[in-house]
Structure 1
Amino acid sequence: MSELTFEDVTVRFGTRGHATTAADGVHLTVPHGSIVGLVGESGSGKSTLARAAVGLVPVSGGRILLDGQPIDHRARRLQMVFQDPHSALDPRMTIGESIAEALPRRARDRRDRVAALLDLVGLPAECARQYPAQLSGGQRQRVGLARALAGEPDVIIADEITSALDVSIQGTVLNLVRDLQRRMRLSMLFISHNLAVVRYVSDFIAVMYHGRIVEHGPADQVLADPQDPYTRELLAAAADPAGQLDLGETSDTTPAHR
């Protein structure tokens, strides 16, 4: 377990005269063994913050720390699960090859490790011989989680991992995330535009608006007594019956186009 900290993090794109600030002085902590849900509308800066944490975009100001030290991305202690489960996997590689590629170089018995990781995310070992196109969207997102876990990370960042899935399959993936976090005591930054999704999995909730964190605290506190008007708007949207999640034990183990 490790603690991920954003200290006054700013990310800008473009030249000085035409710069866009995507993240503006963000302070946020993902405590040891907890899930922090980061919620906000499209364009609020959530994914930019995630990409900065894993080194995909440069930080213009501030620091991103892991256990109080600057992140060494070569150590792979921070892993990311991406939004689109199709484009995140190489279509020319089998599922087993994709997961094995993410294992530490020192790992032995790689085939057994791949089978164990597939089992951990609720997929049969036979999936290792299949290609991404043969799996459903929910199955591919499970593979994405297995790939992230293969790197033996201290922190996982999950960036909109349910938004490309049907509502019924979203529930299956969210149940898996909760189960993995409880069993492995993972530290996780879970990003979504949907507060109904975030409140289901999170210990803490942070609300992002126009590049800034406008509200942050224990999930129960934020949900029961939101202080910012934007948080109240998100709560009203999450209460809409049309946006409710199916959180039953729906199976997505049969390949399908979802």
Structure 2
Amino acid sequence: MSELRFEGVSVHYGSRRRGTTAVDGVDLTVPDGAIVGLVGESGSGKSTLARAAVGLAPVSGGRILLDGAPVRQPGPVQMVFQDPYSALDPRMTVGASIAEALPRGSDRRAEVERLLAQVGLPADRAGMLPGRLSGGQRQRVALARALAARPEVIIADEITSALDVSVQGTVLNLVRDLQRRTRLSMLFISHDLAVVRYVSDFIAVLYRGRIVESGPAGEILAGPRDPYTHELLAAASRTKE
């Protein structure tokens, strides 16, 4: 079982009087073996919540639990960032970047090749520098690097927003395929509801640091209750047109 749970999580920056609350009392569960899509506009607190889960943002209130215990850092929750180029050391080969995340004692060469194959890249990419790869290929490498740590949960933060539209679909298909094969729990974050609904089993809508609506994807899409969710659905429909 690999259930990630946020219980009343808040993230506050600055002083009480002059600070900013980026995340405000969020309750959210990522069930074992499921993809939860977290959607909201820029500045809603999505990335802050993700960073809190991996220890990159301070939690000022509440708890983040994995299978009922506090999440260890560094630990079984791995994050894939929006910009794969900045997430990879440009001076390290693809193979070295992936191998760096592998547990000790692994057959590194064989594992790197296996992980590259898992994300749809040939073994010869291991000897290349990130700058020689396309954006979509770099994002595949970032996914392979996250998988190398043998996580129980992956957080994908806007991983298609920096990619060309023609490439986004292939990465989304890869995410769905990986999750089905590995049964990893995943929190998939995007500002685009059209993207979120393509991969998600459950959807949670974040607005100004708070969850305003959540539930099974089919229910949220078929009968949204919150006005903000209606706005996101309308925007997704216009994009599709």
TM-score tier by shorter-chain length is: over 0.9
Deviations 1:112-131 (A, max 9, x none): 10000000000000000000
TM-score, structure 2 as length reference: 0.99
Alignment correspondent of 1:248: none
1:198-209 counterparts in 2 under 5 A?
Answer: 198-209=196-207
Residue identity matched to 2:11: V
Deviation at 1:228, TM superposition (A): 0.1
Residue identity matched to 2:170: T
Alignment correspondent of 2:129: 131
CA distance in 2, matches of 1:110, 1:234: 44
User: Structure 2: which 5+ residue stretches go unaligned?
Assistant: none
CA distance in 1, matches of 2:222, 2:229: 11
Counting matched residue pairs gives 241
Deviation at 1:153, TM superposition (A): 0.2
Alignment correspondent of 1:99: 98
1:1-258 counterparts in 2 under 5 A?
Answer: 1-74=1-74, 76-107=75-106, 109-240=107-238, 243-244=239-240
Deviations 1:137-181 (A, max 9, x none): 000000000000000000000000000001110000000000000
CA distance in 1, matches of 2:20, 2:87: 27
Q: CA RMSD in A?
A: 0.9
CA distance in 2, matches of 1:186, 1:206: 18
TM-score, structure 1 as length reference: 0.92
CA distance in 2, matches of 1:103, 1:170: 27
CA distance in 2, matches of 1:106, 1:78: 21
Q: Secondary structure at the match of 1:138?
A: helix
Which aligned runs of 4 or more in structure 1 are off by greater than 2 angstroms? none
Deviation at 1:14, TM superposition (A): 1.1
CA distance in 2, matches of 1:244, 1:101: 40
Deviation at 1:244, TM superposition (A): 3.3
Deviation at 1:16, TM superposition (A): 2.2
Deviation at 1:50, TM superposition (A): 0.2
Residue identity matched to 1:211: G
CA distance in 2, matches of 1:127, 1:70: 37
User: Structure 1: which 5+ residue stretches go unaligned?
Assistant: 246-258
Residue identity matched to 1:120: Q
Q: Secondary structure at the match of 2:85?
A: coil
Deviations 1:184-225 (A, max 9, x none): 111000000000000000000000000000000000000000
Percent sequence identity is 75
